[in-house]
Amino acid sequence: MTVLQVGPLMPFLEADLRELYAAPRLPDPPDSFLDGPGAQVEIVVTSGRTGVDADLMRRLPALRAIVNFGAGYDTTDVAEAARRGIAVANTPDVLDDCVADTALGLIIDVMRGLSASDRYVRRGDWAAGGNYPLARKVSGARVGILGLGRIGLAIARRLEGFDCVISYHNRRRRDVPYRYVSTPVELAAETDVLVVAVSGGPQTQHLVSAEVIAALGPDGFLVNVARGSVVDEPALVAALVAGRLGGAGLDAFTDEPHVPAGLLALDRVVLTPHLASGTTETRRAMADLVLANVAQFRKNGTLVTPVV
């Protein structure tokens, strides 16, 4: 089966795909490839940042499987893939710990002002005689988790070590020792920190709405380790600039890698470049799972971690 790389991947995964399958990368512009060798492509390897849309599926007539490097696959038109009988896989589980670690890091950073206080020292403000403003306590905080899947549960387990009071909203109740709250607005209204850990896609578009942000209020914090599309970004920026939201730790944005200019000067906001799963160990494990999916599909037409 002919394998094609669509979009950039980790260099070691690109090297493995070339060595094992002589997989080319879809050129830009793609027309010369799609009008020729593209007719033989049966497996595409892509990422959550690139994906495969309906038009590309149409132009790859032999396509049978899409293997996504990453847990999120909202950039791939999954409904169209299902309609065409194209299988889709992602790389779940192996990144849960690192994403949960990042969420905890953002919670601690934005509540205690660690990044902001680092800048305070570097600017010479401390040496000039000014004590850094008081921050907020993390231990014992009320934390709401929006999306209690594998990553949400990993975040909750870590928060238990901080004696946090944990509640959650999910599509359905889970058999867990945390309190279920029926709507995101209600969850935000009764927590100090709202952590976003839901999947991206149309079903969660702007789930964190202006109403949710307002419910958090000027003493609340938002942490997003999911997708930028989940948050109403203009409403978030407006609330932060006006002081109607206490702060935010953001690892995902609507138009990556572009970050709203209004956030850049705010010390109450921690900004990271979508690095939640970005460790050597996790990215290698994700690559290995991609290769396992490709190998198994070539062998028997099934995927190790199918989503469709």
Question: Is 307 part of any domain?
Answer: no
Query: What's the domain count of the chain?
Result: 2
Burial group, residue 95, by CB count within 10 angstroms (0-12, 13-18, 19+): buried
Q: Is the pLDDT score of 129 beyond 90?
A: no
Residue 152: the pLDDT is 98
> Do the domain assignments include residue 306?
no
Could you tell me the CA-to-CA distances from 259 to 28, 232, 269 in Å, in that order? 25, 13, 12
Q: Is the peptide bond before 29 cis (omega within 30 degrees of 0)?
A: yes
- Reference 244, options 214, 212, 210, 207; nearest CA is 214
Question: Which residues sit opposite 68 in a β-bridge?
Answer: 46
Summary count for the chain: helices (H), strands (E):
11, 11
| In a domain? residue 89 | yes
Residues 230 and 243 in one domain: yes
Task: List the structure tokens of 101.
Answer: 């670690």
Based on the domain organization, do 112 and 87 belong to the same domain? no
Provide mean pLDDT across the span 7-30: 97
Q: Is residue 90 part of a domain?
A: yes
Q: DSSP H helical segments within the chain, as ranges?
A: 11-21, 31-34, 54-59, 78-84, 96-112, 114-122, 150-160, 184-189, 210-216, 233-242, 280-300
Tokens of 266: 């705010």
Structural domain for 117, as ranges: 96-271
The verdict on residue 305 lying in a domain is: no
Same structural domain, 38 and 11: yes
Residues 224/252, Cβ–Cβ less than 8 Å: yes
- Tracing tokens 């992602």 back to the chain, one arrives at 90
Residues 110 and 181 occupy one common structural domain: yes
Residue 25 is classified by DSSP as B
Same domain as 153, residue 23: no
Residues labelled catalytic = 227, 256, 274
- In this structure, is residue 308 part of a structural domain? no
- Inform me whether the pLDDT recorded for 193 exceeds 80: yes
100 and 198, same domain (yes or no):
yes
**Is the same domain home to 132 and 214?**
yes
The confidence score (pLDDT) of residue 6 equals: 98
pTM, rounded to two decimals: 0.92
State percent of the chain over pLDDT 90.
96
Q: How far apart are CA 272 and CA 280, in angstroms?
A: 17
Same domain, 262 and 288: no
- Tens of pLDDT, residues 141-181: 999 999 999 999 999 999 999 999 999 999 999 999 999 99
The encoded tokens of residue 270 equal 């921690």
Phi-psi region of 280 (alpha: psi -120 to 50; beta: other; left: phi over 0): alpha
49 and 152 share one domain: no
pLDDT of 222-267, one tens digit each?
Answer: 999 999 999 999 999 999 999 999 999 999 999 999 999 999 999 9
Residues 43 and 9 in one domain: yes
User: Are residue 102 and residue 86 in the same domain, yes or no?
Assistant: no
Average pLDDT over residues 178-201: 97
Within 8 A by CB and 6+ apart from 268, the residues are 110, 113, 116, 240, 246, 247, 248
Write down the pLDDT at residue 143.
98
